Amino acid sequence: MNKQDYKEIKDEDLFAPCGMFCGLCSSYMAMKNQVPRRRGIVSYCKGCVPRGKQCSFLVKKCKLLLNNDVRFCNECSDYPCIHLDKINQSYTTKFSYEYSFFKSLKILKEEGPSKVISELIKANHCEKCGEILCIHNGLCYKCDQKTLATMKNYRNDK
C-alpha cells in the first residue's frame, strides 16, 4: 500500500463499530507513515471498516455486526454487551491504555468523529510534530522511526 492509498481513508471510517479509533493503532500508523514492515513486529492495516472487516474484536460474537445491521455497537438494543465491556476492561486494566470504548461511542453519537479525534490528539500528541501518538507504545510513527526500527515488539522494547 502506498501513501496515496491511506490518504483516501476518511477519519470517520477509522472508527470500528466497537468505538475503537483505528488511527491510534500501531499497524495503521506503520502503514500511514510507511514504517518498514517487520514480521511479527511491524505490520500494516488500514483499519477495520476500510478493510470491510467490521470490528476485529467483536464481529464473531455479534450477529448484528456480522450482518452489517448496525454501524456502531451503541445502536444495538443489547448495548453495552458483555463482549464490549470485556474488551474495554482489557484495554484499561490489562494493557493500561487510556482509551474508553464507551466514551468514544458516546462522543461519536453526540458530537461526531472529529470531536473524538480532537480529544485524542489533545490528550496524546507528539510534542515535535503534533501527530497523534500510538496507543500501543506511546510513540510517534512520524518522528520516532529510529526507535521503532530497534523495537523487539510493537508494544514496548522488552
- Give yes or no for a contact between 150 and 39, defined as CB atoms under 8 angstroms apart: no
List, for residues 41-90, the tens digit of each pLDDT value: 888 888 888 877 767 677 678 888 888 888 899 999 989 899 999 989 98
pLDDT greater than 60 at residue 1: no
Residue 95 corresponds to which cell in the numbers above?
494493557
Check residue 133 and give its pLDDT.
Answer: 94
pLDDT greater than 60 at residue 149: yes
Average pLDDT of the segment spanning 100-105: 93
pLDDT greater than 80 at residue 122: yes
Check residue 36 and give its pLDDT.
Answer: 87
Residue 148 corresponds to which cell in the numbers above?
521503532
Q: How far apart are CA 48 and CA 61, in angstroms?
A: 15
Q: How confident is the model at residue 10 (pLDDT cuts 50, 70, 90)?
A: confident
Q: Tell if the pTM clears 0.95, that is, is over it.
A: no
Q: How far apart are CA 52 and CA 17, in angstroms?
A: 12
Q: What is the mean pLDDT of the chain?
A: 85
- Give yes or no for a contact between 101 and 84, defined as CB atoms under 8 angstroms apart: yes
Check residue 3 and give its pLDDT.
Answer: 52
List, for residues 21-31, the tens digit of each pLDDT value: 999 998 899 99
Residue 38: what are its φ and ψ, rounded to 5°? -140, 120
